[in-house]
């Protein structure tokens, strides 16, 4: 089974590892940089940009894969799936039009509204000709969130109370966004605890992987600037300490309705990952946003736990037979901690040597924005190495992840609090306060 994987981050390293567990898989990888984890798992690799559609097409035509898996949002937004489909290559990942679920914040909000699917906040979309009405709408909201209507690497969304204080600042940010984006989404702010529900779908059936909580802020105790995600955890009971099974079921129900609405709206089945960014609030589970791919780091929490053959799951997504398989995950806790270059995210120390020491039992290392060269591994400008601890309890998974993170040497830092009793306790108390 020849598989083309596109993407060169830690998420794609985890995808490559999961696919390679099947001894029939022969992996070919298209990478933006020489990822030291993906390369040894691949029969051959091509290095290129995600926007170089000619290069991707030539590589795919040469290797003739049975299917392709697209890891990151950038190639999805560039229409790589449409390109591969034109070569009659089956692909896991939505076409450019369906990837709007992630690439256009207004598409997702409008879809939920039109199809009367629960989970939306109060929201309005403004462009240059309607922005004069934004001031009035902002005054109707309690606290607000301002989102550029496009991809921003998770760093363009600004939240009142976290990134700015007043409605005047919100309006100023709307004007700033309109200089670079066609529109801006203004929403009511939800108060609650966020979680990621990564669902696999063939367009008809939706299957959830265990819920995960990510940590966006750069420093311990949720301080510092927003990042792509500094680490994440999942629990052995496949819930999180601040949500119930009913909350997870609500997230699945919303996603099933969205998958059906996408088909009704476009006539196309969505094949791939629908990652629902959800929030548990006093009013129930709400939708923060959708992503059209696995989360990074959240992929590392769920793929290593998958007991069902992932290549078989991918074939079921392509053949629309997900309803006929049962996807099993082991009942283990996971904690993932990202090592990032000193100065990240604003001014990361680039081109610095990273040395991996002795990895403890139960830990796994996933390579992200690092490059193999001159006989060593060097940082680029983003998250460098993800350390995953897997164990029967959260306490042990955290200890293992922390030990693994401390074994990696270089001009790097990580959050020591992810997966700790103290931080999880804070999340639980926050939820209890809200539900009072």
Interface positions, 124-163, toward ligand GLY (CB under 6 A): 154
**Residue 291 lies near ligand GLY (rule: CB under 6 A):** yes
Q: Which stretch binds ligand GLY (CB under 6 A): 163-171, 198-206, 289-297, 389-397?
A: 289-297
Which single residue is written with the structure tokens 């270089």?
410
- In the complex, the smallest distance separating the C-beta of residue 388 from ligand GLY, rounded to whole angstroms, is 14
Q: How many CB atoms lie within 10 A of CB 143?
A: 14
Q: For residues 307 and 1, give the distance between their C-alpha atoms in angstroms, rounded to a whole number.
A: 19
Q: Total number of residues binding ligand GLY (CB under 6 A)?
A: 7
Q: For residues 98 and 201, give the distance between their C-alpha atoms in angstroms, rounded to a whole number.
A: 13
- Length of the chain as a residue count: 436
- In the complex, the smallest distance separating the C-beta of residue 224 from ligand GLY, rounded to whole angstroms, is 16
**Residue 295 lies near ligand GLY (rule: CB under 6 A):** yes
Q: Which stretch binds ligand GLY (CB under 6 A): 76-84, 288-296, 319-327, 421-429?
A: 288-296
Q: How many CB atoms lie within 10 A of CB 225?
A: 13
Select 291 or 382, whichever has its Cβ closest to ligand GLY: 291
In a 13 Å sphere around the CA of 338, the CA atoms on its Cβ side amount to 34
Q: Judged by CB under 6 A, which of 298, 371, 398, 417 binds ligand GLY?
A: 298
Select 71 or 119, whichever has its Cβ closest to ligand GLY: 71
Select 77 or 229, whichever has its Cβ closest to ligand GLY: 229
Taking residues 195 to 234 in sequence order and writing x for each that binds ligand GLY by CB under 6 A, - otherwise, the string is -------------------x--------------x-----
Q: How far is CA 168 from CA 136, 144, 171, 292, 391, in A?
A: 11, 11, 5, 33, 48
The answer to whether 3 and 69 have CB atoms below 8 angstroms apart is yes
Strands 206-208 and 192-201: antiparallel
Nearest to 95 by CA among 257, 272, 286: 272
- In the complex, the smallest distance separating the C-beta of residue 119 from ligand GLY, rounded to whole angstroms, is 18
Q: Which residues bind ligand GLY (CB under 6 A)?
A: 154, 214, 229, 291, 295-296, 298
């Amino acid at each position: 089974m020849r598989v083309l994987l596109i993407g060169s981050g830690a998420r794609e390293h985890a995808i490559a590892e999961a696919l390679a567990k099947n001894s029939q898989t022969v992996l070919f990888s298209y990478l933006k940089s020489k990822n030291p984890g993906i390369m040894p798992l691949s029969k051959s690799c091509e290095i290129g940009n995600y926007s170089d559609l000619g290069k991707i097409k030539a590589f795919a035509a040469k290797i003739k894969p049975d299917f392709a898996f697209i890891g990151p949002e950038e190639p999805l937004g560039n229409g790589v799936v449409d390109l591969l489909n034109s070569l009659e290559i089956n692909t896991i990942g939505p076409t450019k039009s369906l990837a709007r679920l992630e690439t256009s914040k207004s598409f997702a909000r409008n879809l939920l509204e039109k199809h009367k699917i629960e989970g939306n906040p109060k929201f309005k979309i403004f462009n240059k000709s309607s922005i004069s009405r934004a001031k009035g709408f902002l005054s109707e909201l309690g606290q607000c969130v301002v989102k550029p209507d496009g991809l921003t690497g998770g760093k363009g969304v600004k939240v009142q109370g976290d990134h700015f204080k007043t409605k005047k600042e919100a309006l100023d940010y709307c004007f700033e966004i309109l200089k670079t984006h066609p529109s801006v989404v203004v929403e009511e702010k939800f108060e609650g605890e966020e979680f990621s529900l990564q669902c696999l779908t063939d367009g008809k059936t939706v299957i959830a992987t265990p819920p995960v909580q990510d940590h966006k802020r750069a420093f311990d105790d949720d301080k510092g600037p927003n990042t792509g995600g500094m680490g994440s955890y999942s629990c052995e009971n496949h819930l999180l300490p601040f949500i119930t099974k009913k909350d997870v079921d609500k997230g699945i129900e919303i996603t099933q309705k969205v998958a059906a609405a996408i088909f009704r709206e476009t006539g196309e089945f969505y094949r791939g990952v629908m990652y629902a960014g959800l929030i548990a609030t006093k009013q129930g589970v709400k939708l923060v946003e959708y992503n059209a791919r696995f989360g990074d780091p959240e992929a590392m929490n769920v793929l290593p736990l998958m007991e069902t053959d992932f290549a078989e799951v991918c074939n079921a997504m392509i053949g629309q037979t997900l309803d006929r398989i049962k996807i099993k995950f082991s009942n283990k806790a996971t904690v993932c901690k990202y090592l990032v270059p000193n100065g990240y995210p604003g001014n990361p120390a680039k081109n610095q040597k990273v040395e991996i020491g002795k990895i403890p039992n139960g830990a796994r290392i996933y390579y992200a924005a690092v490059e193999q060269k001159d006989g060593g591994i060097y940082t680029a400008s983003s998250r460098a190495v993800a350390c995953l601890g897997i164990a029967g309890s959260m306490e042990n998974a955290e200890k293992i992840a922390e030990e693994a993170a401390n074994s990696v040497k270089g001009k790097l830092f990580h959050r020591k609090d992810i997966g700790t009793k103290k931080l999880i306790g804070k999340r639980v108390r926050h939820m209890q306060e809200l539900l009072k």
